[in-house]
Chains A and B, each alone.
Chain A
Amino acid sequence: MSPKGEVLTVTSLTKRFGKVSAVQDLSFTVQPGRVTGFLGPNGSGKTTTLRCLLGLVQPTSGRAQVGGHDYRELPHPAAIVGAALEASGFHPGRTARGHLRVITDAAALPAARADEVLALVGLTEAAGRKVGGFSLGMRQRLALAAALVGDPGVLILDEPANGLDPEGIAWLRNFLRARAEEGRTVLVSSHVLSEVQQTVDDVVIISKGRLVQTGSLDELTSAGLIQVRVRTPNLDVLRAALVAEAGSTSVNIFDVSPDEVLVSGLSAPEIGNLALSKQVELHELTPVGTDLEALFLELTAGGNPGGAA
């Protein structure tokens, strides 16, 4: 029986550092049982928001709460929330196991949990090695292990895919998906949409400390914010089918080359299904992460849908 997730609530959160507003009047909720992507370009206030949720940063105004409580009021925080914030929070002279044992001690958890989570993230071999010699990917795994050590119902991960190899990213994806399916709350930040769009159910997009868009990934797809690259030798047939389909939704088709188009407004499965029904041979069908920078330009130009004023 795995621990249950909690709802994360950010309410009118504002944080100023001196005169700089890192986060401004930000409100959103994160539901248990789903993987939520927290997206925005570098410097958009993602990390500050997460640190407010974790009681590390004091909001200037507004609230960021876990299950209706401030993090600092949680009786046994490590068993409720696990967080991996950055890869730099390690003493270089300490071993991976030593780092985790410090945490199991502080949180009054069984010492055996340290080795359990090291095995879980694939660091058993490196358990006795000093963190100073770790690669970025290994540090990311260790940070994840630290987040998992209390078997929490809420996972808050800041750019967890940074420095992971493709294999590691695939593993992380499955891992997070499985946690969400157990009913836990999973919040993952990223500045690269393509990195998370195959993993997340919901998205919260911020830019310059303000909310730009929040909702399910499906909503984002139908809003035309995610494109699918399609390569096919029978482009004309497919185009006709797509245009016919466009009757009900707003589908856009951009020509890239004679056999390749970028489609927005339909998900990859929908296009694949359509191609199958028309017996069109496909050579590629890839959801393309719209570059977030471009996405923000688009959203701003388009009148900031769903965003804060």
Chain B
Amino acid sequence: MMSMVRSEFRKVTTTKVLLWLTIAAIAFSALNVVLLVFLTPRAMDIDPELNLLLDPAYVTNILGAAGSSSIFILILGIIGMTSEYRHMTITSTFLATPKRPRVLIAKGITYAILGAALGLIAFITSLAVTLIALMSDEHAPVDIVTALQILGGVVLAFAIYAFVGVSVGALIRNQVAAIVGALVWVLIVEALLTVFVDWIGKWLPGGALNAVLQTTNVTGRGGEDILPTAIGVVVLLGYAVLLGLLASLITLRRDIT
């Protein structure tokens, strides 16, 4: 399994996809920090009493913007699997490792590690941009303990989410269909379900992701409508494993022609 994971790392480091998605994740995290620092508090300028930058909780939670780049992590996992089918490199992959579920496991491990690394990068980006953006303003201090919790949440959430992406890609082998399907699910289907069916939202992948990130949105932390973090980890990991098992039973065993 070690050699297969090494091979998967080689695959991802010999192409450009990881670089582009890392840049996208950094840019998106930074953008969200900038929006949180400059737009939301300024909207409150009408009432100086409401300057959110003086609220320690608000200031610390700006770091949660790291989690906003989660969609790129999902896409990274999806591309990691589907590009094998797209470029037909799946042939040499399965020739080297004919027991196909092992390929899926190796990819899951590899992309979980990559996801964790990107979570760390996104967090560092958020922290750096937050500190720079706040320099010119009077603001409350960043709470270290909460910041570390956010870091842990982002690293864990991105690790599992990348694995979810791999499983989605294994189930939907067409790269465009898998990415579009995932975007439609995350941005439309899940959003609508969450709005119209009260109890269901927190159990969906996005809800579980938020539970691991410990955030309902980038400005709020925790609350009634998300699962406890530990349960969130189990549910999100459950989706990754379930989709991977489905793929093993249905698409992964299909003929490679």
User: Smallest CB–CB gap between B205 and chain A, Å?
Assistant: 29
- How far apart sit A93 and B19, CA to CA, in the bound complex (Å)? 13
Interface status of B3 (Cβ within 8 A of chain A): yes
A92: B residues at CB distance < 8 A: 87
A102: B residues at CB distance < 8 A: 7, 10-11, 14, 89, 92
A71: B residues at CB distance < 8 A: 98
Interface status of B95 (Cβ within 8 A of chain A): yes
B95 near A94: Cβ-Cβ < 8 Å: no
A103 near B92: Cβ-Cβ < 8 Å: yes
- Selected from B10, B98, B257, the residue in CB contact (under 8 A) with A72 is B98
B3 near A106: Cβ-Cβ < 8 Å: yes
Interface status of A77 (Cβ within 8 A of chain B): yes
Interface status of A146 (Cβ within 8 A of chain B): yes
B255: A residues at CB distance < 8 A: 17, 51, 56-58
With A78-B95, A106-B96 as given contacts, are A89 and B10 in contact (CB-CB < 8 Å)? no
Q: How large is the interface on A (under 10, 10 to 19, 20 to 34, 35 or more residues)?
A: 35 or more
User: Smallest CB–CB gap between B123 and chain A, Å?
Assistant: 29
Interface status of A276 (Cβ within 8 A of chain B): no
A56 near B10: Cβ-Cβ < 8 Å: no
- How far apart sit A55 and B256, CA to CA, in the bound complex (Å)? 9
With A89-B88, A89-B91, A91-B89 as given contacts, are A107 and B96 in contact (CB-CB < 8 Å)? yes
B97: A residues at CB distance < 8 A: 106
User: Smallest CB–CB gap between B18 and chain A, Å?
Assistant: 11
Count the A-B residue pairs with Cβ separation under 8 angstroms: how many?
A: 90
B92: A residues at CB distance < 8 A: 89, 102-103, 146
A54: B residues at CB distance < 8 A: 95
B98 near A88: Cβ-Cβ < 8 Å: no
Closest to B2 in A: A108
- How far apart sit A103 and B255, CA to CA, in the bound complex (Å)? 21
- How far apart sit A95 and B10, CA to CA, in the bound complex (Å)? 12
Closest to A109 in B: B3
- How far apart sit A146 and B256, CA to CA, in the bound complex (Å)? 18
Closest to A92 in B: B87
B219: A residues at CB distance < 8 A: none
In the complex, per-residue mask of B96-124: 1 if CB is within 8 Å of any chain A CB, else 0: 11110000000000000000000000000
User: Smallest CB–CB gap between B83 and chain A, Å?
Assistant: 7
With A56-B255, A72-B99, A107-B96 as given contacts, are A94 and B7 in contact (CB-CB < 8 Å)? no
Considering only CB atoms and an 8 Å cut-off, how many residues of chain B contact the other chain? 27
Contacts of A15-54 to chain B: CB distance below 8 A: 17, 47-48, 51, 54
Interface status of A228 (Cβ within 8 A of chain B): no
B98: A residues at CB distance < 8 A: 55, 71-72, 74, 77
Interface status of A98 (Cβ within 8 A of chain B): yes
In the complex, per-residue mask of B13-38: 1 if CB is within 8 Å of any chain A CB, else 0: 01110000000000000000000000
A56 near B15: Cβ-Cβ < 8 Å: no
B7: A residues at CB distance < 8 A: 102-103, 105-106
User: Smallest CB–CB gap between B76 and chain A, Å?
Assistant: 15
With A56-B95, A92-B87, A105-B3 as given contacts, are A51 and B15 in contact (CB-CB < 8 Å)? no
Contacts of B63-89 to chain A: CB distance below 8 A: 83, 87-89
A57 near B96: Cβ-Cβ < 8 Å: no
- How far apart sit A103 and B96, CA to CA, in the bound complex (Å)? 7
A195: B residues at CB distance < 8 A: none
A88 near B88: Cβ-Cβ < 8 Å: yes
9 contacts between A and B (CB under 8 A): A55-B98, A83-B95, A88-B87, A89-B87, A91-B83, A94-B15, A101-B10, A106-B6, A107-B96
Chain A residues engaging chain B, CB cutoff 8 angstroms: 17, 47-48, 51, 54-58, 71-72, 74, 77-78, 81, 83, 85-86, 88-95, 98-99, 101-103, 105-108, 146
The 6 closest A-B pairs by CB, nearest first: A106-B7, A98-B14, A105-B7, A106-B96, A108-B3, A72-B98
